[in-house]
Amino acid sequence: MKKKAFEQRIEQLKEQLSKASYAYYVLDEPIMEDEIYDHLYRELQDLEQNHPELIRPDSPTQRVGEYPAKGFQSVKHFVPLYSLENAFNLEELRQWESRWQKLVKPPEKNIYVCELKIDGSAIALTYIDGILTRGVTRGDGISGEDITQNIKTIQSIPLKLNWINPPHRVEVRGEAFLPLDEFAKLNQEREQKFANPRNAAAGSLRQLDPRIVRQRRLSFFAYTLHITESPQSQWECLDLLEEIGFLVNPHRALVSSLEQVELYYQAWETERKNLSYLTDGVVVKLNNLDLQEKLGFTRKAPRWAIALKYPAQEMPTVVKAIAVNVGRTGIVTPVALMEPVQLAGSIVQRAILHNQDRIKELDIRVGDTVIIRKAGEIIPEVVRVIHELRPANSISYQMPDCCPECAAPLSANETVIRCLNNSCPAILKGNLIHWASRDALNIFGLGEKIVEALIKAKLVQSIADLYQLQLNQIAALDRMGEKSAKKLINALEASKMQPWHRVLYGLGIRHVGSGNAKIISQQFASPELLSQATIEQLKAIPGIGNEVAQAITHWFSIAAHLELLERLKSLGFSLKAQKIEIEQTVTPFAAKSFVITGTLPNLSREQAKSFIEKYGGKVTETISSKTNYLLVGEKAGSKLEKARNLGVTILSEAELMEMAGSELVVESKETAL
Ligand code: IVH
């Protein structure tokens, strides 16, 4: 064959192979068998090997660079890569609309393009005379890293534009991402797991060896086109991007009002869960490019676009360890410590596992890949374990037999496991923090850190010891000085005048919340009187049930508790009952209305309803502006969104318990980040 003929054949092969890749990776409609593709590819490879001078950068054989790069070069973007401003609810979206409408006149129709916000890594591509010449990471938006070799391994990015007379320079921006199935496969093979698909995509793109990147099977959605003679609108740009060979997300919408944007956002909130890649919101862009230009940019983001984020996502992460937390009532709560992940606006690295039964049910083990989510955006929890990704020879988790804080044997005769050692430092710490808390003795300056330091220095072994602390002892503690020590002594002194119901609540008797303590203090106006109360007498008080009554009589049957009260009295506590308008304060939920949604971790719907009613609340079916609280469990439905929009307070089961001042099913807040 003459050189000309080689050249022609090479061109032909390149074209056939590019068409085949495009059909396979972009259109998802293969046009040739894999074997035929491989055969043609090998023919091209052979021809190029014999005629290296004929190798062009747009040849499919150039999708994989031969050698690992030594590092990446920092290069300047031709057009800065801006970020987006975020809106976290529809109200913020509306505020954005009124902001831009003050600056330019809104068009009659086709105002916005709605696109899904793909959770990946932004990439800037440069095509010179139709050939991919550069691929750069976002970096700081002004400069990024030149990762062209790696970009070329992404099959849905054309090496050559499908454009007969392309403009000299074409800039394309979009999101490189790792489809969920590829993410799962990748993590299965890796010892050190990626926390989520976004990290995996970003990490892969920065791999020095393009052969490894190729195995990762990243994909790319294009969403921005910069050319000199550009179409008039974003909508047309997206169509053009598709025409010239890019994968453009098909779920876009051209809309004429903010109401339509809201409908799009709401529809995709559920529908996005069926997609094979992660999305974290909706990007709303003004369609008209003239208006975009007029509006321009703030320092960081365009004024003509906004990202409307979805809350409460589920995220995969990896369990590094399972620890146990000992709360103030001695309940031992298992907690999963995980690779940190971004979840609904915060970084999460601990998730509550509730109890041994839940651990068994999940069969969660160290090293497992798990899906976590925030229940009503409050407490992260493990939704499920991806058993397929379990590392070999992992062992099932056993709760400890001894308290991790004081080594006392744990009791496990209820569904919960407890440390029964009264002087366990974890219990003491919880008790002291509770004693100082706002609704109890309200001791300003006695926070977690000081309490920890006092226990560590062995200065305090019981609540009463707080009141015998000397100024110099406190001042000598880490991060304390004489001034703050003095303040603390004064605050402790002042707390002795707190009324009896606050002391009663502060004692931390199981099931005695601040509401209950008030009611009880009206009937039994001093510690002496209460210590003699029988279960029947207590149960006769409206709003006080059997559990509370039993807990109180049990507490007073313990000699150490009576001694504590004696000591408090001799320290100068007034312990006087205060007259309270019970009508208004009878229960913590008095006159409050609740709606329940989703499956709660411990209570059934019926149990939750009677619990709320017992504490004076009312449960209704539908959310309205009159609803005070939404109690949220797993698989919460549309009520959650509605509650957020109406500004209704969202509660988890544990928070409900806490509000009622009842035993916490989820032991303490500090276990949840
Ligand atoms: S447009 C100047 N459209 O979201 C406007 N961004 O949080 C630039 N993203 O940095 C962005 N999907 O990495 C745009 N359909 C989409 C997007 C999208 C995902 C990413 C992009 C951007 C980040 C901002």
pLDDT in tens, 354-398: 788 889 889 999 999 998 887 544 568 888 888 888 888 899 998
Q: What is the pLDDT of residues 146-171, one digit of tens each?
A: 999 999 999 999 999 999 999 999 99
First to last CA, the chain: 70
639 in active site: no
Query: Strand, coil or helix: what is 481?
Result: coil
Distance 277 CA to ligand 1 centre (A): 15
Distance 220 CA to ligand 1 centre (A): 12
Nearest to 410 by CA among 336, 335, 350, 356: 356
Q: From atom 9 of ligand 1, which residue's Cα is the shortest distance away?
A: 117
Q: From atom 13 of ligand 1, which residue's Cα is the shortest distance away?
A: 122
Nearest to 380 by CA among 409, 348, 405: 348
Least trusted range by pLDDT, from 96-100, 239-243, 528-532, 634-638: 634-638
pTM of the full predicted structure? 0.53
The pLDDT-based confidence of 655 (bands split at 50, 70, 90) is: confident
CA–CA distance, 168 with 170 (Å, rounded to integer): 7
Mean of pLDDT values over 69-76 = 84
**Catalytic one among 76, 109, 117, 642?**
117
Alpha helices (H) along 126-257: 148-151, 180-189, 197-205, 210-216, 234-243
Strand partners, 481: none
421: left (phi over 0), alpha (psi -120 to 50) or beta: beta
Which residues does a 6 A CB cutoff place in the pocket of ligand 1? 82-84, 115, 117-118, 122, 175, 223-224, 283, 302, 305, 307
CA dihedral 643, 647, 650, 655 (to 10 degrees): -160
Tokens of 561: 């508790």
The per-residue pLDDT for 186 is 86
Asked if pLDDT for residue 345 goes beyond 80, the answer is no
Q: Which of 84, 116, 223 to mutate to test the pocket of ligand 1 (most atoms within 8 A of CB)?
A: 84
- Residues sharing a CB contact under 8 Å with residue 166, sequence separation 6 or more, in sequence order: 127, 129, 130, 244
Instruction: Kindly state the helix (H) or strand (E) to which residue 492 belongs, with its residue range.
Output: helix 482-495
Q: How far is CA 489 from CA 189, 454, 471, 574, in A?
A: 58, 13, 7, 17
Asked if pLDDT for residue 1 goes beyond 70, the answer is no
What is the DSSP annotation of 5-62?
A: HHHHHHHHHHHHHHHHHIIIIISS---S-HHHHHHHHHHHHHHHHH-GGG--TTSGGG
The pLDDT-based confidence of 207 (bands split at 50, 70, 90) is: confident
Asked if pLDDT for residue 253 goes beyond 90, the answer is yes
CA dihedral 634, 638, 644, 648 (to 10 degrees): -80
Backbone CA torsion sign across 241, 243, 244, 249: positive
Instruction: Kindly state the helix (H) or strand (E) to which residue 176 belongs, with its residue range.
Output: strand 169-177
Backbone angles phi, psi at 125, to 5 degrees: -115, 140
The pLDDT-based confidence of 672 (bands split at 50, 70, 90) is: very low
